[in-house]
Amino acid sequence: MSNFMRLSDLDAVPPQLRGAYVAIGNFDGIHRGHQSVLATLKGRAHAAGVPAVLLTFEPHPRDVFAPTPFMFRLTEADSKARLAEAFGLDAIAILGFDYAFSQIEAEQFVSRFLVDALGVTGVIVGADFHFGRQRRGTPKFLQEAGARDGFAVQVLDLMDEGNEVISSSRIRAALSEGAVAAANRLLGYHWFFDGCVVKGDQRGRELGFPTANTATHASFQLAQGVYAVRAKLGGRLFDGVAAFGKPMFNNQRPPFETHLFDFDEDIYGQTISVALVGFIRGQEVFSGLDELMVAMERDSAKARELITTARPLGALDSKLGFIA
């Protein structure tokens, strides 16, 4: 049984987490670049005989300073915590980020959170990490603080692939274009998201394709189209085909509609986790319902084929349990 811990503040850090090695950053997606940071974190923590802790922030700082939230998030807080646990960390601390938090001076951040609250043995950050008011806390500043306050600091370069840095923004762009395979490769696992099952217009049920619908936020910028998916509902795992976008009907803020194969239960109000296995096609407008139903049968067959041939993209993917 995992002893993984999730903290929402650092006001009363459990004694067993004091002296931890800590990685700090937004870590949206916990992609392969982030995973290289976390692998170093685990190695350093193990060598020092201390816990490995991820320190991150919610909501994303960019959304705090925008008029309305706009960021297409790869991982909300719950997903980020699930990934950190699957990666084998000891804890995640998710600090609430707002304007007042952004005004904490870099010196205060170090003394309040790293020294007083956590008593860190060491800190690991990426080369682009900045913190504190007006982003004055640079990697160089952190190294100087560590030398003064007695904790190690390691700054890691960003990971490249295809002459481009592996970044959350690059993955968001891939997903918004329907490039699921490329996004999953950069993530190192099959991208997933959680949602509460809500009532839809029941049109899928009438057509013989009942769907579990999850509401989407305005910032959910996944490409509209049809996807092969695997879904978790409670402790159960299902294969399915999903559609995002309704070009033949009301296409304003469409839900994400997941048809689970060989499944017919009332699951309204339950949380479903959906992982994208592959992109099948973009949304199309058909001449009528008969043509639409033929396309849905074809999409289902293609989804089954993609799911059958899917393989884990790494150890983290296997631990998440969507792909065997």
Q: pLDDT-derived band of residue 205, with 50, 70 and 90 as boundaries?
A: low
Q: What angle do CA 185, 190, 192 make, to 5 degrees?
A: 135
Q: pLDDT-derived band of residue 264, with 50, 70 and 90 as boundaries?
A: confident
User: What mean pLDDT is predicted for residues 228-251?
Assistant: 85
Estimate to the nearest angstrom the gap between the alpha carbon of 315 and the chain centroid. Answer: 16
User: Residue 206 pLDDT > 70, yes or no?
Assistant: no
Please say whether the dihedral angle defined by the alpha carbons of residues 184, 187, 189 and 190, taken in this order, is positive or negative: negative
pLDDT tens for each residue of 44-78: 999 999 999 999 999 988 898 888 888 999 999 99
pLDDT at 145 (0 to 100): 97
Domain with CATH 2.40.30.30 in the chain: 191-320
Burial grade of 166 (CB within 10 A; 0-12, 13-18, 19 or more): buried
SS (H, E, C) 35-86: HHHHHHHHHHHHHHCCCEEEEEEECCHHHHCCCCCCCCCCCCHHHHHHHHHH
User: What mean pLDDT is predicted for residues 264-273?
Assistant: 91
Q: pLDDT-derived band of residue 180, with 50, 70 and 90 as boundaries?
A: very high
User: What mean pLDDT is predicted for residues 298-319?
Assistant: 97
pLDDT at 11 (0 to 100): 93
- CATH number for region 191-320: 2.40.30.30
Q: Which residue has the higher pLDDT, 252 or 170?
A: 170
Q: Is 179 helix (H, G, I), strand (E, B) or coil?
A: coil
- Taking a C-beta distance cutoff of 8 angstroms, is the pair 155, 139 a contact? yes
- CATH number for region 5-161: 3.40.50.620
Q: 116-154 b/e with 16+ CB inside 10 Å = b?
A: ebbebbbbbbbeebbbbeeeebbbebbbebbeeeebebb
pLDDT at 246 (0 to 100): 65
Percent residues over pLDDT 90 in the chain: 76
Cα separation values, 21 from 17, 91, 269, Å: 9, 11, 39
pLDDT tens for each residue of 85-106: 999 999 999 999 999 999 999 9
Q: pLDDT-derived band of residue 252, with 50, 70 and 90 as boundaries?
A: low
Please provide the average confidence, as pLDDT, over all residues in the chain: 91
Q: Is 156 helix (H, G, I), strand (E, B) or coil?
A: strand
User: What mean pLDDT is predicted for residues 38-42?
Assistant: 96
Please say whether the dihedral angle defined by the alpha carbons of residues 237, 238, 239 and 240, taken in this order, is positive or negative: negative
Domain with CATH 3.40.50.620 in the chain: 5-161
pLDDT at 1 (0 to 100): 39
Beta bridge partners of 244: 225, 256
User: What mean pLDDT is predicted for residues 228-236?
Assistant: 95
